[in-house]
Structure 1
Amino acid sequence: MSVLEVTVGVPIERKMERFGTALQAAMEGGAIMPHFGVGFANMAQFGDVFTPKRWELIKALKAAGPLSIYALAKRLGRHYRNVHKDVSALMEWMVIEKDASGHIYVPWDEIDVRLPLTTAA
Structure 2
Amino acid sequence: MTERVLNVKVGEPLEANLSRAARMVEALELGESPAPYFGIGFADVGQFAALFTPRRWDLLAVLRECGPMTVAELARRLKRDYKNVHGDVEKLSAWHAVERDERGWVSAPYSEIVVDIRLPQGRVA
TM-score (norm 2): 0.90
Shift of 1:118: 6.9
Q: Give the Cα–Cα distance (whole angstroms) in 2 for the partners of residues 30 and 118 of structure 1.
A: 36
Q: Give the Cα–Cα distance (whole angstroms) in 2 for the partners of residues 106 and 30 of structure 1.
A: 29
Q: Give the Cα–Cα distance (whole angstroms) in 1 for the partners of residues 33 and 68 of structure 2.
A: 32
In structure 2, the residue corresponding to 1:16 is in which secondary structure?
helix
Amino acid at match of 1:62: R
Give the structure 2 partner of residue 36 of structure 1.
38
Shift of 1:116: 2.7
Q: Give the Cα–Cα distance (whole angstroms) in 2 for the partners of residues 52 and 76 of structure 1.
A: 12
Give the structure 1 partner of residue 14 of structure 2.
12
Q: Give the Cα–Cα distance (whole angstroms) in 1 for the partners of residues 30 and 62 of structure 2.
A: 43
Once superposed, which parts of structure 1, at least 4 consecutive aligned residues long, lie more than 6 Å away? Answer: none
Amino acid at match of 1:67: M
- The question of 1:3 aligning with 2:9 is answered no
Amino acid at match of 1:107: P
Please tell me whether the aligned partners of residues 59 and 78 of structure 2 are also in contact (alpha carbons under 8 angstroms).
yes
Is there any run of 5+ residues in structure 2 with no aligned partner, and where? none
Give the structure 1 partner of residue 84 of structure 2.
82
How many percent of aligned residue pairs carry the same amino acid? 40
In structure 2, the residue corresponding to 1:100 is in which secondary structure?
coil
Report the aligned-residue RMSD. 1.2
Q: Give the Cα–Cα distance (whole angstroms) in 2 for the partners of residues 29 and 4 of structure 1.
A: 25
In structure 2, the residue corresponding to 1:5 is in which secondary structure?
strand
Residues paired across the two proteins, number: 119
Is there any run of 5+ residues in structure 1 with no aligned partner, and where? none
- The question of 1:112 aligning with 2:114 is answered yes
- The question of 1:65 aligning with 2:57 is answered no
TM-score (norm 1): 0.93
Shift of 1:30: 2.0
CA deviations 1:52-85 (Å, max 9, x no partner) are: 0000010011111111101110111000010001
